[in-house]
């Protein structure tokens, strides 16, 4: 039984493992070319967004959320996220970081805190 325990493999198994290792190495080499292409694509997208004055995909600021809430008070994170093209988690993170200082959660959704309504509108 000891020869069948983990860590001890027979000649046939070593051959199979060697074949798997070779194939994994080949796949890693092929995927490396794609990783370079994916990186280039992301750099080009970021450059394009910068030239057009857009936020990079998935990136927003509290100012973006404040501007949205100025026009849509009482919105929920999912609504804001859908409108801004980001995840609800990213929106929630900004809302909670700015909670009470900039944003207020009420029973009907999120609002700008007192005194921030006007600032959110002028920021756009």
Confidence at 29, pLDDT banded by 50, 70, 90: confident
**Span 17-40, average pLDDT:** 82
Distance CA 25, CA 4 (A): 27
Please tell me what DSSP assigns to residue 72. Answer: S
The structure's pTM equals: 0.50
Residue 120's alpha-carbon distances to 3, 51, 53, in angstroms, are: 71, 24, 19
* pLDDT per position as a tens digit, 59-109: 788 999 999 999 999 999 999 988 988 888 889 989 989 998 999 999 999
Three-state DSSP class for residue 80: helix
For the chain, the domains span 2-51, 62-122
Report residue 86 CA to chain centroid gap. 8
Q: How far apart are CA 114 and CA 112, in angstroms?
A: 7
3-class secondary structure, 110: strand
pLDDT number for residue 124: 35
Q: pLDDT band for position 49 (50/70/90)?
A: confident
Select the CATH number that applies to the domain covering 62-122 from these four: 1.20.1740, 1.25.40, 3.30.70, 1.10.10: 1.10.10
């Amino acid at each position: 039984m000891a020869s069948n325990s983990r860590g001890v493999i027979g000649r046939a198994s070593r051959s199979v493992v060697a074949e798997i290792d070779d194939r994994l190495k080949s796949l890693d080499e092929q995927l490396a070319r794609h990783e370079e292409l994916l990186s280039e694509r992301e750099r080009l997208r970021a450059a394009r967004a910068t030239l057009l004055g857009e936020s990079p995909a998935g990136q927003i600021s509290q100012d973006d959320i404040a501007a949205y809430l100025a026009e849509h008070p009482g919105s929920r994170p999912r609504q804001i996220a859908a409108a801004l093209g980001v995840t609800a988690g990213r929106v929630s993170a900004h809302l909670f970081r700015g909670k009470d200082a900039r944003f207020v959660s009420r029973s009907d959704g999120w609002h700008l805190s007192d005194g921030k309504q006007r600032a959110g509108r002028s920021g756009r």
